Amino acid sequence: MEMNEKERDILELRNISKSFDGKKVLDDLSLSIGRNEFITLLGPSGCGKSTTLRIIGGFVRPDEGAVFFDGKDITDLASEKRNVNTVFQKYSLFPHMNVEENIAFGLKLKKKSKAYIQDKIRYALKLVNLEGYEKRNTTALSGGQQQRIAIARAIVNEPEILLLDEPLGALDLKLRHDMQQELIRIKKEVGITFIYVTHDQEEALTMSDKIVVMNRGIIQQMGTSKSIYDEPQNAFVADFIGESNIVDGVMPQDRVVEIFGVKIPCVDEGFAEREAVDVVIRPEDLEIRPEGDGFFNGQVVSVLFKGAYYEIKVRTEGCEWVSQSVTAPEVGTRVGLYVLPDNIQIMHKPKSEDAEMIKE
């Protein structure tokens, strides 16, 4: 930890704001990215992820704020002069060039020798598991292969940061999972910083060292996958990262939360007396017990088999809960719901404007 702090961050976004047609897309966004990190920008569609990435890549100029690369201000530097390369969401291979010509494009511009370029092409194709594809026509490749070539084309330029804007967005589920593993391996092999954009929380949790959760151009939370999953800082994050039960509660005293009139022990303290809070309980933490044995009693309204577990919906007075379990009760039976104090997340209510965005 201490070592990291001494090392200078490779990239810093300082108070970036950007509007399009009078609509604020990024609002005073600040972010530091360390060397060799795999950092993921995660958020719903339209929250400004791509815009952030395009500002880093030099395709969009921020209205306010500055971008620092290795301590130097690069806000006004043209994209071709930045030591950063991008893998785009849309297939962006040059259709009139074959695989080899695509990969060589950047190197030829840098006036590298023929031998060097040949070496690099071979290395890059090996890296993305497409050896022998040099002479192939790019338009004849599958989606996954095209994105691999796009990665190879970027990597050969030895960028210090690779930007990836939903590179797997157009692929089907199976291929996505394979490619996620590929990307993790490639990241390890080349050892550079990856800034990845996705709206798929599962993808973010699997791949990243650090996740930046965004909504409406504002960073909601930043941290490791685990910290974001286990300790969401507000209801938006809790809701967006995995499925959650989010209900209104109040804090009558430290370590006790009151939901629907029931007082439940928890581990949180330091709230104002009777402060209104959001209570988050993950489905896998909500235990189904015999009636009368939990905090709430209700009726099972549906049971869905999800492969590794059952998803059970239970209606109680005032709310419908989602629980996950490896055993399933019959639909219609009356059950009790229980949760361990440790597994309850208490969160401050967001300020009024934020409250609206959660409801969406």
Partner 1 sequence: MVRLKNAFMRCYLAFILLFLYAPIFVLIVLSFNDSRSRVTWGGFTLKWYGRLFSSRQILEALETTLLLGLASAAAATVIGTLGAVGIQAMRKRGYQIVMSVTNIPILNADIVTGIALMLWFVRLIPLGFGSVLVAHITFNIPYVILSVMPKLKSLNLSIYEAARDLGAGSVYAFFHIVLPQIGSGILAGFFMALTMSMDDFVITYFTKGAGVNTLSTMIYGEIRKGIKPEMYALSTLLFAVIFVILLAFNALSGKGKNTEDVIERSR
Ligand X SMILES: Nc1ncnc2c1ncn2[C@@H]1O[C@H](COP(=O)(O)OP(=O)(O)OP(=O)(O)O)[C@@H](O)[C@H]1O
SS3 for 68-111, per residue?
EECCEECCCCCHHHCCEEEECCCCCCCCCCEHHHHHHHHHHHCC
Report the nearest approach of partner 1 to the CB of residue 34 (Å).
Answer: 23
Residues 36-65 that bind ligand X (CB under 6 A): 43, 45-51
Residues 124-183 that bind partner 1 (CB under 8 A): 150, 153-154, 157
Judged by CB under 5 A, does residue 50 bind Mg ion? yes
Q: DSSP for 239-287, please give it.
A: HHSS--EEEEEEEEETTEEEETTEEEE-S---PPTTEEEEEEE-GGG-E
Report the nearest approach of partner 1 to the CB of residue 106 (Å).
Answer: 4
Judged by CB under 8 A, does residue 106 bind partner 1? yes
Residue 2's H or E segment, with its range, is helix 2-6
Judged by CB under 6 A, does residue 25 bind ligand X? yes
For partner 1, the binding residue among 7, 15, 64, 110 (CB under 8 A) is 110
Question: CA nearest 234: which of 248, 223, 219, 220?
Answer: 220
| Partner interacting with residue 341 (select from partner 1, Mg ion, ligand X, none; CB below 5-8 Å by kind) | none
Per-residue interface string for the shown chain with Mg ion, residues 1-40, x marking contact by CB under 5 A = ----------------------------------------
Rounded (5°) CA angle 141-146-148: 130
Report the nearest approach of Mg ion to the CB of residue 49 (Å).
Answer: 5
Judged by CB under 5 A, does residue 180 bind Mg ion? no
Dist. CA 178–CA 174, nearest whole Å: 7
Report the nearest approach of partner 1 to the CB of residue 138 (Å).
Answer: 11
Report the nearest approach of ligand X to the CB of residue 228 (Å).
Answer: 18
Give φ, ψ of 118 to 5 degrees. -60, -45
| Partner interacting with residue 281 (select from ligand X, Mg ion, partner 1, none; CB below 5-8 Å by kind) | none
Residue 318 in tokens: 């005032």
Per-residue interface string for the shown chain with partner 1, residues 37-76, x marking contact by CB under 8 A = --------------------x-x-----------------
Helix (H, G, I), strand (E, B) or coil at 220: strand
Judged by CB under 8 A, does residue 211 bind partner 1? no
Minimum CB distance to partner 1 smaller for 141 or for 280 = 141
Distance of alpha carbon 246 from the chain centroid: 20
| Partner interacting with residue 91 (select from partner 1, Mg ion, ligand X, none; CB below 5-8 Å by kind) | partner 1
For partner 1, the binding residue among 8, 96, 188, 334 (CB under 8 A) is 96
| Partner interacting with residue 42 (select from Mg ion, partner 1, ligand X, none; CB below 5-8 Å by kind) | none
| Partner interacting with residue 201 (select from ligand X, partner 1, Mg ion, none; CB below 5-8 Å by kind) | none
| Partner interacting with residue 106 (select from ligand X, partner 1, Mg ion, none; CB below 5-8 Å by kind) | partner 1
Strands (E), the chain: 11-20, 23-33, 38-42, 64-69, 72-73, 84-87, 161-165, 193-198, 210-215, 218-223, 245-253, 256-259, 262-265, 275-281, 287-290, 296-305, 310-316, 319-325, 334-338, 345-348
Helix (H, G, I), strand (E, B) or coil at 11: strand
Task: Write the single-letter amino acid at 103.
Answer: I
Judged by CB under 5 A, does residue 51 bind Mg ion? no
Residue whose tokens read 């699997």? 206
Dist. CA 243–CA 263, nearest whole Å: 24
Residues touching partner 1, count (CB under 8 A)? 25
| Binding footprint of Mg ion on the chain (CB under 5 A) | 50
| Binding footprint of ligand X on the chain (CB under 6 A) | 20-21, 25, 43, 45-51, 199
| Binding footprint of partner 1 on the chain (CB under 8 A) | 57, 59, 78-80, 84-86, 88-96, 105-106, 109-110, 150, 153-154, 157
